[in-house]
Amino acid sequence: MDGNNINTTSKCPVMHGGVTSTSISNMDWWPNALNLDILHQHDTKTNPMGKDFSYREEVKKLDFKALKNDLHTLMTDSQEWWPADWGHYGGLMIRMSWHAAGSYRVADGRGGAGTGNQRFAPLNSWPDNVNLDKARRLLWPIKKKYGNKISWADLIALAGTIAYESMGLKTFGFGFGREDIWHPEKDTYWGSEKEWLGASRYDNQSRESLENPLAAVQMGLIYVNPEGVNGQPDPLRTAQDVRITFARMAMNDEETVALTAGGHTVGKCHGNGDAKLLGPAPEAANLEDQGLGWINKTTRGIGRNTVSSGIEGAWTTHPTKWDNGYFHMLLNYAWEQKKSPAGANQWEPINIKEEDKPVDVEDPSIRYNPIMTDADMAMKMDPIYCKIAERFYKDPDYFAEVFARAWFKLTHRDMGPKSRYIGPDVPKEDLIWQDPVPVGNKDYDVTAVKKKIAASALSINEMVSTAWDSARTFRGSDMRGGANGARIRLMPQKDWAGNEPKRLAKVLKVLEEIAAESGVSVADVIVLAGNVGIEKAAKAAGFDIKVPFVPGRGDATDEMTDAASFAVLEPLYDGYRNWLKEDYAVSAEELMLDRTQLMGLTAPEMTVLVGGMRMLGTNYGGTKHGVFTKQECALTNDFFVNLTDMANTWNPIDNNLYEIRDRQTGALKWTATRVDLVFGSNSILRSYSEVYAQDDNKEKFIQDFVDAWVKVMNSDRFDLT
């Protein structure tokens, strides 16, 4: 073939340029590679606001009253391109807020309304979120008006609260302070299914086997399938799903009934049409659709002809009014299975009074049957739920109060402690699920306390390990855990296996006595002890340093601590202390990566912390795996020096155990786990290890270790940011 005659007219000029599609990646050849990208998401390169912008400062300048007034006006300002049902957008806005907040799960604290993540895939295109893109577009003029003073995350959460207010509910309050992200979250596991609404999240017939940490029963749903388990109506089976799902998002039975009823007191389901006529979801929509999805371009497809869930109808007689109509309908009528015009399973009442029927969204002269989903029928047929529903029906004021509190919890659960809330409507009441911590003493002689700690009989690894164990519980996903409050001395943390209860009790006895003598919090003393240990270890390595410290932590009490809710924070693995509670299907290095992301650490910070912790002798149970040094408890860079030394060989002897031997003599030098060796095997992590192994970076290693350590110790010091 003559190369001079090659036809180039149809070739893309950037064929060999950048990879511009997420469906194409050279890394697809190595699907099991560690995804270190989860540690480096949401950096300044993706944020158009710049590194100096602080939303939490900007929102304090917001005219809160004007914003709320504009939202109240929006609720009844029906737009021709997407008309409001009965002239009120309340139901749509509530569903948007609910589905943003309802993605939260307690197991890992991920999901929730705290980041505005609903704007991005996959959530913006989930089947359960059909037409919520319209709600956000309706909000755009308000976002545009108030600009940098209101985040999308706050606006999405607030819209539902104002919707309830406009319909007559006395809400519990609202806190601003959520900060937007600018691309989809890469760390959140939404499920492994490759199809929407699959049925693979259970390993047996028990609904309790729902895959951890997931709360939703199927891919693409927020909670449960409204048509029944796997789309088959069965209210008692659905009740099992509801109970498990809501428990996994920190709700008890009473809160569950209140939220179900309150959410369905207003608004309606949409299924008056053929779902097959809907266009693709936002992420797959054509350019000319400008990010709007599920567009019906063949028939009217709006107003009374809207299709969203496929279920069709309202739950109550007055769907734009907060009242007790939901329980009136549910408890006073018998219900039978029906099909919606879109073919979805739903329940409709038998022999309903004409005056109890809700009117058409466009023509009040037309009345239709109300509907219930399978989840609603669960509230009637499950004996526990039914008893609660009957109480709510008899006491509307009590129902309204329980719902208002549950709605507040739903929309704020991932924000962390109340100290992070901003605005005039923050409730004064301290709620136990907010993990309250009293303000600690800041005015004391830190040096004097450090001298007392140094003079104690505590070893370096005892001091450092205890401080680490106290702080490592922090999760940036929902701002829970951390060293502030010293909850490591309370139930359930003091008895967690990963905290080595006997060692912990010994250390706490010493530190609590010092705290009492000094008039300071145990929380501060625990962190100070870790700092003292690090300073001693650095001195042993030939460096005289001071670890930065800011006093002011407080000590929580048992009365401030919901012990049951803290159970999900229990560490079952800790790569930093080289510990696994048991063998898991997920590799030890992947578990460490997940924990690192939750703690808000970068890959270089993870690397330097692991290398330093090994030198400090902080391994669980005193094991020597990864302690590649002859100078244990001296803060040297030996971990990295010996890890990268080609004079050594690395030999597997068990699933998670390796021997490091002298290449020439074969003599055993050290042992290691997968977590140790990944810093030499993974090409990215090895590049960081090589930095710290350099002869000219011994001081840099110590400084970077201290910086990362302080970051962990201060992760829950929201008073410092």
Q: What b-and-e string marks burial along 683-702, b requiring 16 or more CB atoms within 10 Å of the CB?
A: eebbebbebbbeeebbeebb
183 within 8 A of 41, measured Cβ to Cβ: yes
Task: Tell me how far apart the alpha carbons of residues 710 and 712 are, in angstroms, rounded to a whole number.
Answer: 5
Task: Tell me how far apart the alpha carbons of residues 561 and 559 are, in angstroms, rounded to a whole number.
Answer: 6
Task: Tell me how far apart the alpha carbons of residues 330 and 372 are, in angstroms, rounded to a whole number.
Answer: 8
Let me know how many helices (H) and strands (E) the chain has, helices first. 22, 9
Phi, psi of 367 (to 5 degrees): -120, 150
What DSSP assignment string belongs to 173-213? ---B-----SS--SS----S-SSTT-S-S-SSS-GGGPPTT
Q: Which residue has the tokens 């703690």?
A: 599
What is the residue type of 491? Answer: M
**Radius of gyration for the alpha carbons in the chain, expressed in angstroms and rounded:** 28
CA atoms within 13 A on the CB side of 124: 22
525 within 8 A of 510, measured Cβ to Cβ: no
Say how many Å lie between the first and final Cα of the chain, rounded. 67
Where does residue 57 rank: exposed (0-12), middle (13-18), buried (19+ CB within 10 A)? exposed
Tokens of 200: 């693979």
Q: Which residue has the tokens 């070739």?
A: 11
DSSP-based three-state secondary structure for 628: coil
For residue 295, give Cα distances in angstroms to 123, 161, 275: 17, 27, 10
- What lies within 8 Å, CB to CB, of 646 at 6+ separation is 663
Q: Is 88 a catalytic residue?
A: no
DSSP state of 670: E
Task: Tell me how far apart the alpha carbons of residues 533 and 540 are, in angstroms, rounded to a whole number.
Answer: 11
Tokens of 376: 């609603």
Neighbours of 169 (CB within 10 A): 20
Tokens of 470: 């106290």
DSSP-based three-state secondary structure for 620: helix
Element (DSSP H or E) covering residue 594: helix 588-598
133 within 8 A of 62, measured Cβ to Cβ: no
Give me the catalytic one of 16, 40, 88, 99: 99
What DSSP assignment string belongs to 547-566? --------B--GGG--HHHH
Tokens of 519: 């008039």
Task: Tell me how far apart the alpha carbons of residues 343 and 298 are, in angstroms, rounded to a whole number.
Answer: 19
What DSSP assignment string belongs to 57-81? HHGGGS-HHHHHHHHHHHHT--BTT
Tokens of 421: 């809330």
Tokens of 712: 């962990």
Task: Tell me how far apart the alpha carbons of residues 200 and 347 are, in angstroms, rounded to a whole number.
Answer: 26
Tokens of 633: 């408890």
Active site residues: 99
